[in-house]
Chain A
Amino acid sequence: MEQNFDLPEIHTPENLVYTKTKVLTDNVMHYCPGCGHGTVHRLIAEVIDEMGIQDQVIGVAPVGCSVLAYNYFDIDMQEAAHGRAPALATGIKRVFPEKFVFTYQGDGDLAAIGTAETIHACNRGENITIIFINNGIYGMTGGQMAPTTLPGMPTSTSPYGRDVKMMGNPLKITELVAMLPGTYFVTRQAVHTPALVRKTKKAIRMAFENQKLNRGVSFVEIVSNCNSGWKLTPVQAIKWLEENMLPFYPLGDLKVNGEMVSK
């Protein structure tokens, strides 16, 4: 049925203060309404655009909700097997040391099946950027328990809540990689408020700028929400994130310019 909303024409040149960055394609994103992936994609694309490196960047997509990330970035990209993105990025950066290489990974990809690849790429100090989306759940496969699922948090494979005695504790892999000598910049950010979006963009910019220094891995965790997996509306999910995820995964820099940030 055709709907006629009779909206006033607002897409006029004088109203155009914010447009889609050219580093994003015109493809419609498949992400759920309220999901943080779209925001983070945009921030990465803006940074690539502003740095003028669209022709020098190679991205690596993971397996998970962002498996199709390569459909949205107008850059050369490779699709990795589950968890192997840091190994691909190592291969790319070693043969193209002058190019900018980043991985985009979720918590299951980076902190469960890909733990070895993550730790060792970080420990070798590969000169790459790792963008890590932590929403505490497996989104794509339908809301199963992730390595970062909070204690007591229900998922489809921990339906009575994560019992840490049986299922283990959540893995704070960002704190772990910050301890490794090969990481140069390690930070934890979020994108559920405009102020946090701006801070995250600064962090992503720094994570890409650092590649010019050749000093090691820049690792940006972004604590995000998964409305579908958490079975909450977007607004409820953001409230839940603030009340539950952020106390366990506090925001802020863990390591800057190769030095641990004292808290």
Chain B
Amino acid sequence: MKELRLMKGNEAIAEAAIRAGADAYFGYPITPQSEVIEYLMAEKPHERTGMVVLQAESEVAAINMVYGAAACGKRAMTSSSSPGISLKQEGISYIAGAELPCLILNVVRGGPGLGTIQPSQSDYFQATKGGGHGDYRLIVLAPASVQEMYDFVKLSFDLAFKYRNPVMILSDGVIGQMMEKVEIGEQYPRLTNEQIDELYPWATTGKKPGKDRRIITSLELDPGRQEQHNLKLQAKYKKMQEEEVRYEALNCEDAEYLLVAFGSSARICQKAMDLGRAKGLKIGLLRPITLFPFPSKILHELATKVKGMLTVEMNAGQMVEDVRLAVCGKVKVEHYGRFGGMIPSPAEVLHALETKIIGG
């Protein structure tokens, strides 16, 4: 029988981590995501599965603890919110450079600076374009429900280990804080040290007699070899673009106007779409689930079918740049955004679509 629970998005992430067989969580409290570590500490996962949970002295230390554990072939994760994610960028860049798998959750709040503790989507650029220094990408998943917060944890670890690459769940204060019904999945066992040795020939687990030592590093002083490393990373990102694009298309078959939105904005757009359809407007919704790799191909195809697109984001216009790149001038693309912690209403979104696209 299915196990259903009413949970906050942040709690769903924490429970999902234990159930996914995560080995370690390292974090530092910050609003609006502190429930992740609070839930984990209260749950005593070391008694349930042997999972390690540690409150670090800073976000910087937390992401570097993730580095250390991930380099051992363990399923390690951290979570934070925007200002804390900025602090983690150094570590994320090193993790991407050293090709280590891990999960990073960003429950986004408004910025810049200390900004607000209210929800926002203003970290889209940071999440999808690299974030730290150097040419690298994260796989970025954008949940639009508490259920997806839960489901994307296991998916993130699977993708992270498939590509030896950090995966970010880009959520926001709405999804993190709101409570919804969640279907709880099965308990996956944590891997044994023997399984790790067998599965991950790169992991530092102690040099085996007669075998080569293993080194985890992002340093290569020889420019020729560093370029080869960069090319290898780029090939990996290209493979992600070919194989890992995920999106949800609602009412796109007959759509004349398309809303493009991710995360909680997509939930609002769904209601705006219903309001518009009730008025006889043929509105569709394209919800990118992976923000990197971005669903450019489907948007390119839809551009030949619709009269215009409106991206709705809780930011000043970030994803709209990727939509315009995908559409390549074929159709009008506009942006509607609220920011600083303000959340658009469905009526507001419909009005923006009517004025900027339909009547524009």
Contacts and interface: CB of A to CB of B under 8 A. Distances in A.
B56 interface: yes
Contact of B217 (A57, A73, A78, A99): A78
A251 interface: no
A250 B56 CA distance: 33
Interface string A66-78: 0110100111111
Given A77-B204, A78-B67, A96 B215 contact: no
A73 B62 CA distance: 27
A91 B90 CA distance: 16
B291 interface: no
Interface residues of A, number: 35
A260 interface: no
A73 B54 CA distance: 30
Interface in B273-302: none
Nearest to A84: B64
B213 A74 contact: yes
Nearest to B211: A55
Given A67-B219, A70-B217, A79-B98, A88 B64 contact: yes
A120 interface: yes
A71 to B, nearest CB: 8
B216 interface: yes
B54 A94 contact: yes
B215 A91 contact: no
Interface in A178-228: none
B213 A77 contact: yes
Interface in A75-107: 75-81, 84, 87-92, 94-96, 99
Main secondary structure on A side of the interface with B? mixed
B76 A76 contact: no
A90 B65 contact: yes
Interface in B68-92: 68-72, 74, 76, 90-91
A76 B204 contact: yes
B207 A75 contact: yes
Contact of A95 (B52, B60, B209): B52
Nearest to B65: A91
Nearest to B26: A91
13 contacts: A60-B68, A61-B217, A68-B219, A70-B215, A78-B98, A78-B204, A79-B216, A81-B64, A81-B94, A84-B61, A95-B74, A96-B205, A99-B205
Interface of B: 23-24, 26, 52, 54, 56-58, 60-62, 64-72, 74, 76, 90-91, 94, 98, 193, 204-209, 213-219
